[in-house]
């Protein structure tokens, strides 16, 4: 497993933590607007919140995101264009970790600025379900393999329940359609848009 | 007695203090911490990674609540006293702003000798020094019609009517004074070049009778001159039941190149956000028959009569769920007479794991909270700790509503639970019980206002009462 993939998996773990620990999400979000005017808060966000909450067990060892990787998240979080840059980052990470068989980055970058007009609006509860479902698939190889090989991906997605949260039919079907049609950038934009809304 | 400056023919009255003129923007004397410590300033706008997500808007709303409720010592300055900490019997910054009554040049009664004696007697009973801001401030409350609710009053269980007033910060007042020149738009806040945007706050107040003075410290309270068309003051103590704050603080521009219908209307008001904080025991939260059964009968709800629980279960539930469309269901229904107490419940949304009235310091430090639950915990966690112990701990964030750059009103609800799509402000829109297709809430309502999302503008710029 490459360092780059480990970092992306740690990022997925951070998304899980942000979606399930409201106190973590509340305080990290409070820091974002201070990152330019109070540079000392950058290290706090990285070392106290991002890195510890990114820890995962990978191949019988514990891994956490690298300082450089965390620094990039901190930097885009403090940007005026965070809503675009973080969307883009999270879309890339989740796509790589869940929707690719060999888990290499896909060359085709998404814009991060908007979501396709055909995409359903995702409620706050379903945003959380989206985070947890993608997190589950990122860390469960057999389920991910089943998902990637399935002819009915919507059904597989709906069948995944994490902490009582599961995606509904409308969202699962839309994701399925984008995968089948190979609408890679649309899917990345959609995922990134809602992962940002649910975890940042 | 210092009375708020009224708008005059020559122009507007502004406070002279430097912090008031900076409109509580962060500066060298006031820095906004990222933790949950209340301070007397808050940023001019939402920014960076807080933009375009509900957590960011909720965080901003809470920090705004802390700052706008910062205690004032010199009322005429309209500035927070940064040397003080929140405490019982404070007068908050927003209470010193000009009101709709001021701006429409409404006539306020003069205090009589008897009024002054009544004020002195109340202060003595409450053991409050006459030199305090509390002793020197009066809320002048005339309107008992719920704003924008077709002249309908809201009558509490004790048969007293709630009173409403709208408060404008100096930016909003200045905007209104130059409204045509500003192309009928209010100022939007900014952090790039620190600037405060227009803020319009709506307060709902209840009269606290003398028999309840022992519990007055549970409320953010004030002395008030309650008056009618007779223009005579009835001196009372009033407690805040709800504070609805509209702030133009989202400078992000829409990325939509084409929009249609309501989406366009939403985008036009997307620089505003709307937040409601309410007293936690206004009304019980209900979404099911079980919720009715679990109403805490030891609580004297302001707007709900516990003796009606069985009747409401019979008339307002079906298959264990709330069924407010039943013809015999009277909860959140306009009463048949204007003197009859309302029966108000708060609709319990599915994005809460706890009822807002049940949140406590212990629950807030525990597990199982949703993101919205935790945001509502922030005032509890902040105001129960010294040096900030304050009755403001009893006011909970009900929700913040905002519009994203796609024109979506957020938060979005799933629709699985019908009551999710009904507004939950018990003291501001108590009789809204219909479900809309795209979230019946602040933005869905304000987008229909003639001027920049604000309904009270026509009456002010025309000078109507």
Q: Cβ contacts of residue A181 below 8 Å, gap of 6+? A: none
| Count of Cβ atoms closer than 10 Å to residue A47 Cβ | 13
Q: What are phi and psi of B11, to 5 degrees?
A: 145, -150
| Count of Cβ atoms closer than 10 Å to residue A151 Cβ | 8
Q: Which residue of A has its CA nearest to B374?
A: A22
Listed as ranges, residues in chain A with pLDDT below 70 are none
Asked if A118 has any chain B CB less than 8 Å from its own CB, the reply is: no
CB-CB: which of A29, A35, A113 is closest to B55?
Answer: A29
Find tokens 């509904």 and name the residue. Answer: A168
B9 — pLDDT class (breaks 50, 70, 90): very low
Yes or no, beta carbons of B53 and A79 under 8 Å apart: no
Strand B272-279 vs strand B395-403: parallel, antiparallel, or unpaired?
Answer: antiparallel
Give the dihedral sign, CA B328/B332/B335/B336.
negative
Contact B378, B55 (CB under 8 A): no
Yes or no, beta carbons of A197 and B405 under 8 Å apart: no
Find tokens 């639970």 and name the residue. Answer: B417
pLDDT at position B415 is 61
Yes or no, beta carbons of A125 and B55 under 8 Å apart: no
Give the dihedral sign, CA B408/B410/B411/B414.
negative
> Which pLDDT tens digit goes with each residue over B221-271?
999 999 998 889 999 999 999 999 999 999 877 766 677 788 888 888 899
Give the dihedral sign, CA A23/A29/A33/A37.
positive
Give B443→chain A minimum CA distance, Å: 17
Q: How far is CA B237 from CA B17, B132, B184, B329, B387, in A?
A: 29, 15, 37, 34, 25
| CB contacts, 8 Å: B63 with chain A | 30
> How far is Cα A163 from Cα A141, in angstroms, rounded to an integer?
19
pLDDT at position B115 is 98
Higher pLDDT, B416 or B211: B211
Which of A123, A129, A166 should we substitute to test contact with B (largest number of B Cβ atoms within 10 Å)?
A: A123
pLDDT at position B10 is 34
Q: Cβ contacts of residue B389 below 8 Å, gap of 6+? A: B86, B87, B88, B383
* CA trace torsion B5, B6, B9, B15 (10° rounding): 30
| CB contacts, 8 Å: A124 with chain B | 54, 351, 371-372, 411-413
Yes or no, beta carbons of A29 and B53 under 8 Å apart: yes
Find tokens 């020094």 and name the residue. Answer: B129
Q: How far is CA B371 from CA A7, A31, B150, B364, in A?
A: 26, 17, 35, 11
Asked if A140 has any chain B CB less than 8 Å from its own CB, the reply is: no
Q: Which residue of B has its CA nearest to A86?
A: B49
> How far is Cα A122 from Cα A99, in angstroms, rounded to an integer?
20
Give A77→chain B minimum CA distance, Å: 5
pTM for this predicted structure: 0.94
Contact B259, B407 (CB under 8 A): yes
Which of A37, A82, A124, A193 should we substitute to test contact with B (largest number of B Cβ atoms within 10 Å)?
A: A124
Task: List the beta bridge partners of residue B190.
Answer: B195
Structure ipTM: 0.96
| CB contacts, 8 Å: B52 with chain A | 83, 196-197
The residues of B whose Cβ lies within 8 A of any Cβ of A are 32, 34-36, 43, 46-56, 58-59, 63, 191-192, 252, 255-256, 350-351, 369-375, 378, 405-406, 408, 411-415
Which of A32, A46, A76 should we substitute to test contact with B (largest number of B Cβ atoms within 10 Å)?
A: A32
Give the dihedral sign, CA B315/B319/B322/B326.
negative
Higher pLDDT, B269 or B276: B276
Q: Which of B329, B321, B330 is nearest to B350 (CA)?
A: B321
DSSP for A115-150 reads --TTSPP--HHHHHHHHHHHHHHHH-HHHHHHHHH-
Give A25→chain B minimum CA distance, Å: 8
pLDDT at position B440 is 55
Q: What are phi and psi of B240, to 5 degrees?
A: -70, 130
Which of B48, B263, B379, B407 should we substitute to test contact with A (largest number of A Cβ atoms within 10 Å)?
A: B48
Yes or no, beta carbons of A29 and B50 under 8 Å apart: yes
pLDDT at position B264 is 84
Give A13→chain B minimum CA distance, Å: 18
Give the dihedral sign, CA B228/B229/B234/B239.
positive
Give the dihedral sign, CA B229/B233/B235/B238.
positive
The three state secondary structure string of B405-418 is CCCCEECCCCCCCH
Share of chain B above pLDDT 90, in %: 71
Give B412→chain A minimum CA distance, Å: 5
B7 — pLDDT class (breaks 50, 70, 90): very low
> How far is Cα B373 from Cα B393, in angstroms, rounded to an integer?
14
Give the residue-averaged pLDDT of B15-21.
Answer: 52
Yes or no, beta carbons of A113 and B374 under 8 Å apart: no
Q: Which of B28, B427, B31, B41 is nearest to B239 (CA)?
A: B427
Give A10→chain B minimum CA distance, Å: 20
Q: What are phi and psi of B80, to 5 degrees?
A: -70, 145
Higher pLDDT, A107 or B139: B139
Q: What are phi and psi of B322, to 5 degrees?
A: -65, 130
Yes or no, beta carbons of A124 and B375 under 8 Å apart: no
CB-CB: which of B48, B63, B256 is closest to A32?
Answer: B48
pLDDT at position B255 is 66
pLDDT at position A81 is 94
pLDDT at position B3 is 41
Which of B371, B415, B439 should we substitute to test contact with A (largest number of A Cβ atoms within 10 Å)?
A: B371
| CB contacts, 8 Å: B47 with chain A | 32-33, 80
Asked if A40 has any chain B CB less than 8 Å from its own CB, the reply is: no
Instruction: With a cut of 80, say whether residue B132 has pLDDT above it.
Output: yes
Yes or no, beta carbons of B48 and A82 under 8 Å apart: yes
pLDDT at position B419 is 75
B207 — pLDDT class (breaks 50, 70, 90): very high
> How far is Cα A52 from Cα A65, in angstroms, rounded to an integer?
9
> How far is Cα A15 from Cα A19, in angstroms, rounded to an integer?
6
Yes or no, beta carbons of A27 and B35 under 8 Å apart: yes
pLDDT at position B121 is 98
CB-CB: which of B191, B256, B373 is closest to A22?
Answer: B373
Yes or no, beta carbons of B255 and A114 under 8 Å apart: yes
Both structure tokens of A161: 């329940």
Yes or no, beta carbons of A196 and B53 under 8 Å apart: yes
Which of A28, A45, A125 should we substitute to test contact with B (largest number of B Cβ atoms within 10 Å)?
A: A125
Q: Cβ contacts of residue B229 below 8 Å, gap of 6+? A: none
> Which pLDDT tens digit goes with each residue over A92-137?
999 999 999 999 888 888 888 888 889 998 888 899 999 999 999 9
pLDDT at position B20 is 62
Q: How far is CA B461 from the centre of its chain?
A: 23
């Amino acid at each position: 497993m490459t360092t780059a993939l480990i970092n992306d998996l740690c990022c997925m773990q951070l998304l899980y933590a942000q979606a399930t620990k409201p106190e973590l999400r509340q305080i990290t979000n409070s820091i974002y607007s201070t990152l330019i005017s109070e540079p000392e808060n950058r290290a706090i966000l990285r070392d106290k919140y991002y890195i510890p909450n990114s820890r995962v067990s990978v191949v019988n060892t514990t891994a956490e995101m690298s300082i450089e990787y965390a620094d990039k998240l901190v930097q885009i979080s403090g940007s005026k264009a965070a809503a675009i840059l973080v969307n883009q980052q999270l879309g890339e990470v989740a796509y790589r970790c869940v929707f690719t068989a060999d888990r290499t980055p896909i060359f085709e970058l998404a814009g991060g600025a908007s979501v396709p007009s055909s995409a359903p609006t995702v409620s706050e509860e379903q945003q959380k379900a989206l985070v947890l479902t993608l997190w589950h698939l990122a860390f469960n190889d057999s389920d991910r393999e089943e998902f990637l090989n399935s002819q009915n991906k919507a059904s597989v997605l709906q069948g995944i329940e994490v902490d009582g949260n599961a995606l509904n039919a409308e969202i699962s079907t839309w994701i399925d359609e984008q995968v089948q049609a190979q609408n890679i950038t649309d899917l990345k934009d959609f995922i990134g848009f809602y992962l940002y809304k649910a975890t940042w | 007695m210092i009375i708020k400056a009224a708008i005059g023919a020559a122009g507007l009255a502004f406070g002279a203090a430097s912090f008031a003129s900076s409109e509580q923007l962060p500066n060298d004397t006031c820095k906004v911490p990222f933790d949950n410590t209340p301070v007397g300033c808050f940023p001019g706008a939402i920014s960076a990674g807080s933009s375009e997500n509900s957590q960011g808007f909720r965080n901003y709303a809470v920090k705004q609540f802390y700052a706008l409720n910062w205690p004032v010592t010199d009322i005429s300055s309209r500035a927070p006293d940064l040397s003080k900490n929140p405490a019982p019997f404070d007068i908050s910054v927003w209470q010193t702003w000009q009101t709709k009554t001021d701006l429409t040049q409404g006539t306020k009664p003069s205090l009589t000798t008897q009024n002054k004696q009544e004020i002195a007697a109340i202060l003595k009973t409450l053991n409050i020094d006459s030199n305090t801001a509390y002793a020197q401030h009066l809320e002048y409350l005339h309107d008992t019609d719920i704003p924008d609710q077709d002249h309908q009053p809201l009558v509490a269980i004790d048969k007293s009517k709630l009173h409403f007033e709208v408060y404008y910060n100096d930016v909003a007042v200045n905007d209104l004074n130059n409204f045509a020149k500003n192309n009928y738009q209010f100022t939007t806040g900014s952090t790039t070049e620190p600037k405060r945007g227009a803020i319009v706050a709506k307060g709902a107040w209840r009269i606290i009778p003398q028999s309840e003075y022992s519990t007055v410290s549970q409320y953010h309270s004030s002395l008030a001159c309650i008056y009618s068309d007779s223009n005579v003051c009835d001196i009372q103590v009033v407690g805040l039941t709800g504070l609805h704050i509209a702030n133009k603080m989202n400078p992000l521009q829409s990325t939509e190149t084409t929009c249609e219908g309501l989406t366009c209307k939403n985008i036009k008001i997307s620089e505003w956000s709307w937040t409601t904080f309410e007293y936690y025991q206004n009304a019980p939260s209900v979404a099911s028959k079980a919720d009715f059964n679990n109403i805490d009968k030891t609580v004297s709800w302001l707007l709900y009569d516990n003796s009606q629980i069985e009747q409401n279960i019979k008339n307002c539930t079906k298959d264990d769920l709330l069924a407010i469309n039943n013809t015999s269901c009277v909860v959140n229904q306009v009463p048949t007479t204007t003197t009859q107490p309302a029966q108000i419940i708060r609709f319990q949304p599915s994005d809460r794991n706890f009822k807002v009235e049940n949140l406590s310091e212990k629950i807030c430090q525990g597990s199982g909270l949703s993101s919205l639950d935790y945001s509502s915990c922030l005032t509890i966690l902040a105001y129960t700790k010294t040096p900030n112990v304050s009755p403001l701990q009893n006011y909970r964030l009900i929700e913040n509503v905002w519009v994203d750059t796609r024109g979506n009103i957020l938060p979005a609800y799933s629709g699985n639970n019908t009551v999710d799509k009904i507004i939950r402000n018990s003291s501001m829109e108590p009789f809204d019980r219909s479900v809309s297709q795209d979230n019946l809430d602040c933005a869905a309502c304000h987008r229909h206002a003639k001027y920049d999302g604000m309904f009270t503008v026509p009456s002010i710029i025309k000078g109507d009462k």
